[in-house]
Amino acid sequence: MPRRNTFRRITGINLGWHPWLAEGESRGNYADWLWLDGQLEGGYQYSMGMFGARPGGTVESERQGGPTVDLHILTPDGKAHHGTESYPLEAFKPEPFGGTWGDNTFKGKLGPDGMPEGYDLKVSVGDVGVDLTARAVAIGLQFSDEEHGYSYYHPIKNIALGWWPLVPRAEVEGTLTIEGKPVKVSGLAYVERQLTSMPTSFGGGGQAWWTWGHFYAGDYTAIWTDSASSEHFQYRHFSPFALWKGSDLILSTFQFTCYVEKFGIDADSGMLYPVVESLRASDGNVELRAQLLPGKINHIFRLGETGVYCRQYCDVNMQLRRWDDVDQESGTAVHEFGAGGHWFPFDRLK
């Protein structure tokens, strides 16, 4: 059933894992993970999925669908480095905020109010790794009037879809390992939770297409998604946008749109991807406009026969207007675009 959209402070249920979604007929579709991004000094960047569950991972023998750590590191020269490893179910130990995957750990730190104060991250997969300590600056939120935070939930069938930022901005320092060699780093980092027990959620039965991202520009931190449900759900849009200055939330609205202004064709894959995107969010006399500039593709792949998923790092320019006051900043962004199998009539071009 659709939830009423609103903004609420995250709670312990949003920080933790949701194994009850693996029960009943949705069992084989359950996925639950932390997603992390880091934008570091010197041009180093990382992104990582730490999966407690993936579709097909509900029995011990299906290891490839079970707990997984998937790490991508982009170096200043534009070279991508990747390591991934899946684990048997007993190797994953969930915690209220984080967990252990074999020897890899995400150890969340909570304050007296139960909110994140930071985390320690230690991961090594293949010849890449991260060993970072984070201090939380901005604390996340969720977008539903229900405590669980799901943007879609069918309690009878136990089908859910959810996404929310946990620590949208943290100051981090430590070490990256690239081809087995350590590199000292510091910068800013992001953590969110995603989960689903909906069949073919992304680019399938649940969504037609979506944009998603976050950026750092000076003291500002922004997060967003503009997600269109499938034709079956009448393409209804879920479009939250939030902006912090330092630790203060200064704009939160569902009056948000992300426009793809220009598409390009990736030379290696032949797939379409956004080259330039514009953001606009408003609430009363507060308005933000931003533009995501041409960037570096981190990874791109097909969803089904004609769908596409693309994730990029790029520069961003933003302008914030509050009454007659205007503030402009530049920074860096991580953003993605995904579309299902019927988003464009490619067969008509043949």
Query: What's 142's DSSP letter?
Result: E
Q: What pLDDT is attached to residue 64? A: 46
> What is the DSSP annotation of 176-203?
EEETTEEEEEEEEEEEEEEEE-STTTTT
Nearest to 151 by CA among 225, 255, 250, 52: 225
Instruction: Say if residues 56 and 202 touch (Cβ distance below 8 Å).
Output: no
Q: Which residues contact 67 (CB under 8 A, 6 or more apart)?
A: 51, 52, 53, 54, 57, 86, 87, 88, 89, 91, 92, 101
pLDDT on residue 303? 80
Could you report the per-residue pLDDT of 136-186, keeping only the tens digit for each?
A: 999 999 998 888 999 888 888 888 889 999 999 999 999 999 999 999 999
* 207/219 Cα distance (integer angstroms): 33
Q: How far apart are CA 283 and CA 273, in angstroms?
A: 30
Q: What single letter denotes the amino acid at residue 99? A: G
Q: Which domains does the chain have, with CATH numbers?
A: 1-10+20-199 (2.40.370.10), 200-350 (2.40.370)
Whole-number pLDDT of residue 70? 96
3-class SS letters over 246-277: CCEEEEEECCEEEEEEEEEECCCCCCEEEEEE
3-state secondary structure of 337: strand
The phi and psi torsions of 317 (rounded to 5 degrees) equal -115, 135
189-208 pLDDT, tens digit per residue, is 999 999 988 775 554 456 78
Phi, psi of 22, deg, nearest 5? -85, 5
Residues 6+ apart with CB under 8 A from 74: 44, 45, 46, 80, 81, 296, 298, 313
Spans of the chain below 50 pLDDT: 1, 57-64, 203-204
What is the helix (H) or strand (E) element at residue 170, kind and residue range?
strand 159-178
